[in-house]
Structure 1
Amino acid sequence: AQAFNLNYYELHYEDLVQNPEDELRRLLNFLDLDWDDRCLTFQNTAQPVMTASYDQVKKGLYTSSLKKAIHYPGPYQEMTEAARDMLAKLGYLE
């Protein structure tokens, strides 16, 4: 990102689901937004969830899917091969 002078925030899903409050606080700080305790209970919102992943949103954060996509065949396997170096660097191919 420095080569292009980009300002970005790198967040790993694993870190988010294993330590949500700390990760969300860091993200909101980066975005210059105030903390709101509702960030930790988003699944309890009365607002309608208009997405195909409705069931997942309503479950809240969970760790049961960690690193599962790496082992799927088909298109995911092609993506894994194409991104092998980056996935290894991020610890997904241990």
Structure 2
Amino acid sequence: MCDMGPKTATPPSQWVYYERLVQRPSDETRRVLHFLDVPWSDDVLNHQDKIGDEIRLNPNEFSTSQVKEKVNEKALTSWFGCYTTDFLKKIDKLAPMLRKLGELHTS
């Protein structure tokens, strides 16, 4: 099992949650760029407008089609209802790392 202790893990204050990134893209990207010591640019939030002119994408990269679009807020909830109750009851056994990473919010 992966050691999630303080010696090896990034502090929770530095974690980037997808949900927060989608819901508050400006706040989260500013926080990440500050951590990386990279100056802020409004272009970060409008990346899709730069593709083709300033940014070239690899057509063979799986995520290329997603990068061409704005942040997709619908993705946050589009998976709701996809998992059976039986599957969710077994989630700790099937994916124990979810709870360790703070991503499992079931009882």
The answer to whether residue 18 in structure 2 is matched with residue 13 in structure 1 is yes
Q: Secondary structure at the match of 2:30?
A: helix
% identity of equivalent residues: 29
CA–CA distance in structure 2, aligned partners of residues 53 and 5 of structure 1: 27
The answer for the alignment partner of 1:82 in structure 2 is 95
Distance 1:12 1:6 in 2: 13
Structure with max Cα Rg: 2
Q: How does 1:62-81 map to 2 (within 5 A)?
A: 62-66=72-76, 68=79, 71=82, 81=94
Cα distance, 1:48–1:30 mapped onto 2, change above 3 Å: same
* Maintained 8 Å contact 1:16/1:23: yes
Correspondence 1:44-63 to 2 at 5 A: 44-45=49-50, 46=52, 47-50=55-58, 51-63=61-73
CA shift at 1:93, angstroms? 4.0
Number of aligned residue pairs: 90
CA distance in 1, matches of 2:27, 2:100: 25
Range that drifts further, 63-72 or 24-33: 63-72
TM-score by length of 2: 0.62
- RMSD, aligned CA: 3.3
- Segments of 5+ residues of structure 1 without an aligned counterpart are none
Residue identity matched to 2:44? C
Higher helix proportion (structure 1 or 2): 1
- What is the TM-score when the length of structure 1 is the normalising length? 0.69
